[in-house]
A and B are shown apart, each in its own frame.
Chain A
């Protein structure tokens, strides 16, 4: 999905605010000072949506008319400088896709941005049935050829890799042996360990320990972070919400979930829990109770550990020995599977995954000691 949006705003102060908001919601925002600048950009590249600040020159109605004339199907979103429903409805009648109310925040912007990017158009087909049928034959022949070539090549290559050494270029050995959850922060990595009942904060560059927080009354089996909280899944099936302060002060606790989740993550809108034993993945409403919305069957080989970002679900799969990418909208659909080099070690058991800034991090046990490593996100 293209994520480039055009943002038109004359005020430098507003631009700074909007630049931060769009970066945080994952948008690639291209800024223009006024409508004429934006229309000049339109001649070279077409963004997925246009956001413009209301109350500037020319008036919003004129901007809507001009953008609709140049790009009739492009979602156009005025950013209102105050929450005025009748102004919003008037602009929507004039062709706006929706309006974002003041104050401009990530929470207000995210749904409108996501909906604008998913705006569907008319399905267009160029192929006739006959052409498609011919293409199928050619594709089948090509597939057979590549299957044979792949088998022969794989047979030879398999011998060379019969006893591969586990090579993990970005791997760190942990001073504890039973990691269960991993959360990536700006400059540190937080890992929970069930056996020592602690949270370990490591420096992200050299993995030196910065801080250890003991949890003598808890046995963490999974961990996730939302913007203002840390969530710990307990061995008894409950999920505990804690503040992100120095002591990770407990705030609330859910009822016991069954089956007991051993993976948990937050995609920016919803919480997800997973149980590797049953291969079930559950979508939950945000909130202290984490009410269940729907449970899905994991579509891969065997679920090892699950995480998510605001675009995808990611699973470490020891059955396929791969990193599996799934859609947030339809978790029963595999979008891609990528062989995971770490699984070259036959004793590796990945117990926690986290995805951030184009990297997927793993924590687990390997030969009696804990390890953490990362891979670049597959394309």
Chain B
């Protein structure tokens, strides 16, 4: 279920390789391997996305991730389970996540 504190989560732009009009949404969770992405745009499961976002002071562009699962919540938002595909990008994400301040 979508957390309804969505305005405090990390925003990201997402596009498929052939898509000229990208979508956007927010990460509700992120690890170096995978992420949960909340968006009101419909994206097909199995598609590969290119994501642009910022983690702390690090800006990421064209991070490759596959849509593993999509669930629509009662408000009409989609909750996507994403898996990051590129090992090099996973390493950069890990470094950026380690630098983020913890609660």
Residues of A within 8 A of B (CB): 75, 83, 85-86, 88-89, 92-93, 95-99, 108, 110-112, 114-115, 118-120, 269, 285, 328-329
Contact = CB atoms under 8 A, between A and B. Distances in A.
A116 to B, nearest CB: 9
Contacts, number: 68
17 contacts: A85-B14, A85-B24, A88-B24, A89-B11, A89-B13, A92-B24, A93-B11, A96-B7, A108-B40, A111-B77, A114-B75, A114-B76, A115-B2, A115-B76, A118-B4, A269-B76, A328-B74
A115 B4 contact: yes
Nearest to B71: A293
Given A89-B52, A92-B11, A112-B40, A118 B75 contact: yes
A88 B5 contact: no
B74 A75 contact: no
B24 A99 contact: yes
A-B interface, 5 closest residue pairs, ranked by CB to CB distance from nearest: A111-B76, A85-B13, A85-B22, A92-B11, A114-B75
A329 B24 contact: no
B7 A97 contact: yes
Contacts of A86: 13, 22, 52
Interface in B10-32: 11-15, 21-24, 26
Contacts of A75: 7
Contacts of A99: 24
A231 to B, nearest CB: 20
B92 interface: no
B40 A111 contact: yes
Nearest to B11: A92
A111 B72 CA distance: 10
Nearest to A97: B7
B44 interface: no
B75 to A, nearest CB: 4
A113 to B, nearest CB: 9
B74 A119 contact: no
Contact size range, B? 20 to 34
Interface of B: 2, 4-7, 11-15, 21-24, 26, 40, 52-54, 72, 74-77
A321 B26 CA distance: 47
B102 to A, nearest CB: 21
A270 to B, nearest CB: 8
Contacts of B54: 93
Given A111-B77, A115-B6, 12 more contacts: A85-B15, A85-B21, A85-B24, A89-B52, A92-B26, A110-B76, A111-B75, A118-B4, A118-B75, A269-B72, A269-B74, A269-B76
A89 B75 contact: no
Contacts of B21: 83, 85
A85 B23 CA distance: 6
Contact of B4 (A88, A96, A119): A119
A184 B22 CA distance: 39
B77 to A, nearest CB: 5
A178 to B, nearest CB: 35
A142 to B, nearest CB: 35
Contacts of B76: 110-111, 114-115, 269
A120 B54 CA distance: 25
A304 B24 CA distance: 44
Given A88-B13, A89-B24, A119 B75 contact: no
Given A85-B22, A86-B52, A99-B24, A119 B6 contact: yes
Contact of B12 (A89, A97, A115): A89
A85 B26 CA distance: 12
